Structure 1
């Protein structure tokens, strides 16, 4: 049992990693060293689980027509999974590069909102500030948000962000090499796999009625435009549905505060064993 874990004071939050949810448990802050070790373990577990998905991106990017250098550059410079899958999805379907960039940009706009919230917490000027901006992603912000105070939030942010960056790019290279060795993607069904992978990332986030309504509206718009619009435009128009909905319900994350457990989450028992 990790010191400080368990009991009624324990709390946690779910972090989405691809189609899976990882429950992060946050120990009380009565043992600073134990808390820091727990934060690092949380960060690395999320980094490993997320980084492995780089294999699928690398393989699908090659299947969509990108070469190894382009695939690696996309992961290094864009570094936001949802936008990367959207980009290769549009390119792979024959869409214009402008439509691919615009679609990826809209999906990545949430990172700017994360950055506005994270800036006061990280407080890092110069080149390190640029690095912080680059690793401000869903996972690093979520792990930071699960921590009980600003110092551990910063620790979780950096360990998660850098860990995901290193592993995502390493597995992207592996996936691209494997995908290139497979040859013609249509032989293996990889020509349709980008859309399936993106759907896998999206599906777990459709738990609420608001999200389901936005998704339904986006599907209707895309279906109406697909027969008449060039490839990539229906996806871009569908993304605008989410943007318009987001203006009505802006996110209000709070970072560096202990997250309250949801009612449907199992709470740890006396010895750190989840109770029924």
Structure 2
């Protein structure tokens, strides 16, 4: 690894540490709730290791806890993940190499790493993104392990007000992205779509529909962005 790549990776790790702290707390609550819903500790841990997506995991968990089957739970998780379609389309030109390498590195895209790696001109810092994701993944898995194995000591996670962390987390990411008028229009349109659909649509559908508003911002930068420089 050359010095420039190493420096970019470590910068990403440092930027990701505050978000990793939040991830650890959220995943701890997932571990506790998953075991309470009937998961074994191993199942909860493996879920976090493979899925690594808080909103999708909590959406599927709520369905399982309510007595729903695996198919509805997977469907809800897939819909919650749908926002990564727009994020992936935007990020793809900044990934070097062939399809397999691009697909593997694309698995490291999470909401915060995507936002922090965004250069604002339609391109993304791939190395920074990878570095930012590393501490968040470690914290997410570690929090789940603690919650799943010693959840009895934690007790009722609702009393800690952890349900407020998710919306606060995403609002914080959103605020950092509102630097241009077009971005603000896209965010406002997405919010209107989501609020309108939440009372009447199944879980995940509002996220999928609101994500369409991101195409406004994507269209704004596509025409201005030149060729991206590939980082080895």
Task: Describe how 1:1-276 pairs up with structure 2 within 5 A.
Answer: 36=8, 38-125=11-98, 128-146=101-119, 153-179=125-151, 181-182=152-153, 188-189=155-156, 193=158, 197=162, 200-202=165-167, 205=171, 209-221=188-200, 237-247=202-212, 250=215, 252=217
More helix by share: 2
SS of match in other structure, 1:135: coil
Tell me how far 1:107 sits from its aligned partner. 0.7
Unaligned runs of 5+ in 2: 176-186, 226-232
Tell me how far 1:103 sits from its aligned partner. 0.7
Aligned-partner Cα distance in 1 for 2:38–2:58: 13
Aligned-partner Cα distance in 2 for 1:202–1:251: 23
Match of 1:232 in 2: none
Aligned-partner Cα distance in 1 for 2:100–2:189: 39
What is the aligned-residue RMSD (CA, Å)? 3.5
* Equivalent residues of 2:12, 2:128 under 8 A apart: yes
* Equivalent residues of 1:78, 1:84 under 8 A apart: yes
Task: Name the count of aligned residue pairs.
Answer: 200
Match of 1:12 in 2: none
Tell me how far 1:90 sits from its aligned partner. 1.3
Tell me how far 1:130 sits from its aligned partner. 4.1
Larger Rg: 1
Aligned-partner Cα distance in 1 for 2:73–2:116: 30
Tell me how far 1:252 sits from its aligned partner. 3.2
113 and 242 in structure 1: CA distance in 2 versus 1, 3 angstrom threshold: closer
TM-score (norm 2): 0.69
Aligned-partner Cα distance in 2 for 1:135–1:124: 16
251 and 100 in structure 1: CA distance in 2 versus 1, 3 angstrom threshold: farther
TM-score (norm 1): 0.59
